[in-house]
Chains A and B, each alone.
Chain A
Amino acid sequence: MSLYVVDDAIRALAARRHLPNSHLAKWLAMDTGSRAALIEMVEPLKMRTGQIVVAIDLLDEIAIRERATVAAILSRADIRRSCVLDASGPAQAAAFLDALRAIRFPRLKLAIERLSAEVAALRLPAGLRVVLPKNLGSDELMIQLNARTPLEMRNLLDTLAAKKSELVRLAKLIGDDEA
């Protein structure tokens, strides 16, 4: 696509989706290759306005963090893979954003994966759930217990008591990756 065709396509999409002017400006401020690469990615995924805004922000931040162009970021294998999943359009768009977040927050992603694996290893029964803080933004661990009958309550509390040492370990791990 020529430069003018790309910019016209971006403007047309921005108008259709009511993209905020600030984000249209960010998009148009990218280098030519990046502008084109992004619209080629966004159009087939049929992303919603909010998703486009998030994608532009993430790409902008990754480009600064890694001193890379948006075109180079979008050409990475993990990003390409996320877009060719055999899934619906919304699921593909969500996978694309997840792939961008994994690049933008690499250590957070690893930490969440590690802690989630620890939670899964607890093998808690239905009705008992360990909730990690959102994006590990605090060191507060939440345990959710849902019981409908006295018997269910008794069983869940017994399970909880039996898991005491593992839960204490998890509370340590959430603030110390070497615990």
Chain B
Amino acid sequence: MKFDLDAIYIENACRDTSLAQRVLARGDTRTAIHFIADGRAASLPLGDAADSFAAGKRRMVIMRRRSPFLMGCPAGSAKFACCGYLVLTLASNCPMDCSYCFLQEYVADNPGFQIYANYDDAFAEIDKLIAAAPDRHFRIGTGELADSLAMDSITGLSIDLIKFFAARETLTLELKTKTDEIENLLELDPHGRVLVSWTLSPRRLYESSEYRTASPSQRIDAARRVLEAGYRVAFHLDPIVAYPEAEPDYIDLMDELFSSIDPARISFISMGGLRMTPALRAAARRRFPTDAMLLGEDVLSADGRYRTFTLMRLRLYRILSEKFKKTGAEIPAYLCMENSSVHHRVFGAPAPHPAETSERLAIR
């Protein structure tokens, strides 16, 4: 997949980094290149852009990250039964454009498509974590504030990441994507320590709401190919959108997935209903005013987010959970941003502690 950029901004201090050199060598020669003192200025919203968030997606900024790379998942909260996922922020924003994406609110004040050139510092942070907890396994992902692989043909970040993680036995790297950008991965041996995960949506949702992404079938096919190349694979049904035809569509999607990939070889499947803060909902509706997927039977829930009303949301979780069970493969499944009572109702058991879930998902 190739994504067009309007311009690439490179911070002067990053000019000689391997990342900047790769981007300069592999990027489209028609894209304007600017060298600047501070990448943060180039990441701010453009005053004259009708849609500054969309404009930010087309403005790549190679810069230093000034804050820690490693953090707990921003979706995590004591209110929810979480999965203990750790996030490694190597980039911010994404060249694809999903109408429901939380980045529309999360990076609204900072929409430039930042990629951090000093990612060696991230490796130092991870080594410090391992040293502090040598007996624990950690699942660390790069796909929270950006797609892990969208620009990989230009940045080549996955190569350094996979080499780093493949050499550390208590780590699992999760590369989360909606692309089929896997060519770099196929050249490497992950030693079983790299998991590639795809967000999957029914075709109807993909066509209405997931612009510039790979189709669901392309994502499943890419998953099959990386699985054959020695990677672990997982899937995120997130967001699950409860549109009128959702039940048969999600079942069809699972049928397609399980007919292409042996369920026993799926590391896990996560589920999460569409949830939007009022500010995100307003931003999404402003940017995608005719997308009916943003207008489900959503009500304000206790955590201040709009969600499909509980009964209907749980029904979808339950139907999918039953579908996983019917494979006989005992696919690990968890819910994202749901509280423990919802977890109990869907899976029939109390939610484990996040650290326990994290360990289980990292090891399988």
Is A135 interfacial (CB 8 A cutoff)? Answer: yes
Contact of A137 among B289, B300, B341 (CB under 8 A): B300
- Pair B295/A176 contact, Cβ less than 8 Å: no
Contact A138 B302 (CB under 8 A): yes
For the complex formed, measure the closest distance between the CB of B303 and the CB atoms of chain A, giving whole angstroms. 9
- In the bound complex, do residue B290 and residue A175 qualify as a contact, i.e. CB atoms below 8 Å apart? no
Contact partners of A106 in chain B: CB under 8 A: 297
- The total of chain B residues at the interface (CB under 8 A) is 21
- Give A residues with C-beta under 8 Å from B: 61, 64-65, 67, 105-108, 111, 133-140, 174-178
Contact between A108 and B309 (Cβ–Cβ < 8 Å)?
yes
Stretch from B3-11, B165-173, B311-319, B350-358 at the A interface: B311-319
Please tell me if the beta carbons of A139 and B300 are within 8 angstroms of each other in the complex.
no
Cα A26 to Cα B234 with chains together (Å): 43
> Which residues of B pack against A, CB within 8 Å?
289-292, 295, 297, 299-302, 307, 309-312, 314-315, 318, 341-342, 345
Q: Known contacts A111-B309, A136-B309; is A176 also within 8 Å of B302 by CB?
A: no
Q: Which of A61, A137, A177, A178 is close to B302, meaning CB atoms less than 8 Å apart?
A: A137
Collect the chain A residues with CB atoms within 8 Å of residue B300's CB. Answer: 135, 137
In the complex, how many angstroms separate the beta carbon of B48 from the nearest chain A beta carbon?
A: 21
Collect the chain A residues with CB atoms within 8 Å of residue B309's CB: 105, 107-108, 111, 135-137
In the complex, besides A64-B291, A64-B292, 12 extra interface pairs with C-beta distance below 8 angstroms are A64-B289, A105-B299, A105-B309, A107-B297, A108-B312, A134-B299, A135-B300, A137-B301, A140-B302, A175-B341, A177-B311, A178-B315
Give me the 4 closest cross-chain CB pairs, A-B, nearest first.
A135-B299, A136-B309, A175-B345, A137-B301
Indicate if the CB atoms of A176 and B345 lie closer than 8 Å: yes
Q: Which residue of the partner chain, among B289, B295, B301, contacts A138 with CB atoms under 8 Å?
A: B301
Residues B314 and A139 in contact, CB atoms below 8 Å apart: yes
Given A65-B292, A105-B297, is A138 in contact with B345 using a C-beta cutoff of 8 Å?
A: no
CB–CB A139/B312 < 8 A: no
CB of B76 to closest CB in A, whole Å? 20
Choose among B311, B318, B341 the residue with the greatest number of A CB atoms under 10 Å from its CB: B311
A-B pairs with CB below 8 Å: how many?
Answer: 65
CB distance from B148 to the nearest CB of A (A): 33
> Given the known A-B contacts A65-B295, A108-B297, are A138 and B318 also in contact in the complex, defined by CB atoms under 8 Å?
no
**Chain A residues positioned under 8 Å from B302 (CB to CB):** 137-138, 140
Q: Which of A64, A107, A140, A175 has the most CB of B within 10 A?
A: A175
A61 CB contact (under 8 Å) in B295, B301, B307, B318: B295
Asked if residues A174 and B290 are in contact (CB atoms below 8 Å), the reply is no
Report whether B295 and A136 are in contact in the complex, using a CB–CB cutoff of 8 Å: no
Q: Smallest CB–CB gap between A107 and chain B, Å?
A: 6
Interface of A is mostly: loop
Please, could you name 6 A-B residue pairs with CB atoms under 8 Å apart, sorted by A?
Answer: A61-B295, A64-B290, A107-B312, A135-B299, A137-B301, A176-B314
Closest-by-CB residue of B relative to A66 is B292
CB < 8 Å: which of A64, A67, A136, A140 contacts B311? A136
Write out the residue numbers on chain B whose beta carbons fall within 8 Å of the beta carbon of A175. Answer: 310-311, 314, 341-342, 345
Q: How far is the CA of A176 from the CA of B344 in the complex (A)?
A: 12
Chain A residue nearest to B314 (CB atoms) is: A175
- Collect the chain B residues with CB atoms within 8 Å of residue A136's CB: 299, 309-311
Contact A174-B311, Cβ < 8 Å, known A64-B292, A139-B342 = yes
- Report A-chain residues with C-beta under 8 Å of the C-beta of B310: 133, 136-139, 174-175
Give the complex CA separation of A155 and B201 in angstroms.
53
Residues of chain B within 8 A of A67, CB atoms compared? 292
Q: How far is the CB of B205 from chain A (nearest CB, A)?
A: 15
Q: How far is the CA of A64 from the CA of B294 in the complex (A)?
A: 10
Q: Which residue on chain B has the smallest CB distance to residue A133?
A: B310
Q: Which chain B positions have C-beta within 8 A of A107? A: 297, 309, 312
* CB-based contact A108/B292 at 8 Å: no
Given the complex, which residues of B lie within 8 Å of A111, measured CB to CB? 309, 311-312
Q: Least Cβ distance of A115 to chain B in Å?
A: 8
Q: Which of B290, B295, B299, B345 contacts A108 (CB 8 A)?
A: B299
**CA distance in complex: A61, B292 (Å):** 8
A178 vs B315: C-alpha distance when bound (angstroms):
9
B318 engages A176 (CB within 8 Å): yes
Chain B residues whose C-beta falls within 8 Å of the C-beta of A178 in the assembled complex: 315
Shortest Cβ gap from A110 to chain B (Å): 10
- By a CB distance below 8 angstroms, the chain B residues around A64 are 289-292, 295
B307: A residues at CB distance < 8 A: 137
| B318 CB contacts on chain A under 8 angstroms | 176
A106 vs chain B, min Cβ distance (A): 8
Q: Tell me the complex Cα distance, A170–B291, Å.
A: 35
Which residues of A have CB within 8 Å of B291?
A: 64
Question: Once the chains are docked, how many angstroms separate the CA of A67 from the CA of B290?
Answer: 9
Q: Which residue of B lies closest to A62 (CB)?
A: B295
Query: Which residues of chain B come closer than 8 Å to A138, judged between CB atoms?
Result: 301-302, 310
- Looking at the assembled complex, report how far the CB atom of A85 sits from the nearest CB atom of chain B, in whole angstroms: 25
